[in-house]
Structure formats: structure tokens, C-alpha cells
Amino acid sequence: MMKRLLIAAILCGALAWPAGAKQDDERLEALFDGLAAAEDPIAAKPFEAKIWQLWAESGSATVELLMNSGMAATNAGEFDRARQIFDTVVMLAPDFAEGWNKRATMWFMAGDYPASVADIERTLKLEPRHFGALSGLGMIMERIDNPGQALKAWQRALAVHPHIHGARERVEALSRKVKGQGI
């Protein structure tokens, strides 16, 4: 069944409009400005939600269907199935940052941190302001006991999204931990 779904998706993808990377959407600049200027998490929430919405728009119904299927498989703990789906997503839309980010999330949940970091790096190459990928990188660096790199990732996330959930606390805790160690 999975093989048929992937073949159908590839065929549909070849016939569909090319997947567009929505990280270049003109509206993002104003949304990131609003996010940076927000006075508190409540004021930041609408900007964050709209950014996520734009990031999720691939420009291809096929890719969006696959993304939903991949996220459902990830949430169900069906990591092999999710990997196959996200492999197809990044093959069909290699410039779609959110495809790489969702596969990074799947790798993280499966416990494959090196693969997750590789996909986070690809996400950030396409969308350097991806606060979700940056916070994911921070979490991974903490889990592999690299507090200096974790601190840098969380600081980068905060620079983009000053009200991202839990980031200030992580920066404070990690700053205390690395104090005197050099980053």
C-alpha cells in the first residue's frame, strides 16, 4: 500500500504545478517584523500562526497531502512509513523548507539526532529564520550534552521569535551551565 501511495504521489507530483518554497513569500517580512515587535506571547501568537501557515504552503496539492500523511505517521510512531513519505516530499520539493523541517521532526521523534540535525541544517539553509528548526536544534544539542551549541541555537531562535515558548528559560539555564566554559 505504501509503495503504491509513493508511486502515485511521484506521478501526481510530476503532473502538478511545481512545488514552491513559501519561505520566500513577500508577506513573511512584515510578519517577522510583527513577531519581533510583539510585546508578549499573546501579541506574538497571530504572527507566529500566520508564519507557520505560509511555511506549510508548498504550492502543490500532492506535497501538502504527503505532508499531512507524513505528520500523521510520525504522530502515530510509524517512523519507517513517515520516512518514506518525507523522502518523497523532499524529492518532489527540494526547495520547500517545511518538508525538510517535518522530516527533521520525524527523525528527532525516532531518536536519530544526526539525521535530524542534517535536515535542520537544510531547513535553515532554505529559511534561516525558521524558529521551529532552531528550537529543535537547541533541544537536540541539549540531549547530546552540547550545551554551548544548544545555547547558540536557542539564542538564534529568540533573535527571530522573542516569545518562542520555553526559549528564554533554556537560554538562562544554558548560560549558567556554560558560564566559564567558553561556547
Give the 3-state DSSP-derived string for 122-161, with helices as H, strands as E and coil as C: HHHHHCCCCHHHHHHHHHHHHHCCCHHHHHHHHHHHHHHC
Q: What is the CATH number of the domain that holds 110?
A: 1.25.40.10
In a domain, 166, yes or no: yes
| Helix (H) / strand (E) containing 14 | helix 2-15
Phi, psi of 182 (to 5 degrees): 75, 140
In a domain, 153, yes or no: yes
Q: How far apart are CA 4 and CA 67, in angstroms?
A: 16
What's the pLDDT at 139?
A: 97
The predicted-structure confidence for 44-79, as pLDDT tens digits, reads as follows 999 999 999 999 999 999 999 999 999 999 999 999
Q: How far apart are CA 1 and CA 25, in angstroms?
A: 35
What's the pLDDT at 113?
A: 98
What's the pLDDT at 25?
A: 76
Name the band, by pLDDT with cuts 50, 70 and 90, for residue 16: very low
In a domain, 183, yes or no: no
Range of the domain at 127: 2-13+22-178
The predicted-structure confidence for 77-89, as pLDDT tens digits, reads as follows 999 999 999 999 9
- Average pLDDT of span 16-33: 69
The pTM of this model reads 0.84
In a domain, 60, yes or no: yes
What cell does 60 get? 502543490
In a domain, 63, yes or no: yes
Name the band, by pLDDT with cuts 50, 70 and 90, for residue 180: low
Q: Count of domains in the chain?
A: 1
What's the pLDDT at 26?
A: 83
- Average pLDDT of span 131-146: 97
Is 90 exceeded by the pLDDT of residue 18?
A: no
- Average pLDDT of span 124-146: 97
What's the pLDDT at 182?
A: 52
In a domain, 107, yes or no: yes
Average pLDDT, the chain: 88
Q: Which whole-number Å values give the CA distances from 163 to 104, 154, 159, in the listed order?
A: 22, 12, 9
Name the band, by pLDDT with cuts 50, 70 and 90, for residue 173: very high
In a domain, 81, yes or no: yes
146: alpha, beta or left? (left if phi > 0; alpha if psi -120 to 50): beta
In a domain, 165, yes or no: yes
The predicted-structure confidence for 93-129, as pLDDT tens digits, reads as follows 999 999 999 999 999 999 999 999 999 999 999 999 9
Which residue stretches of 16-60 are H helix? 27-37, 41-56
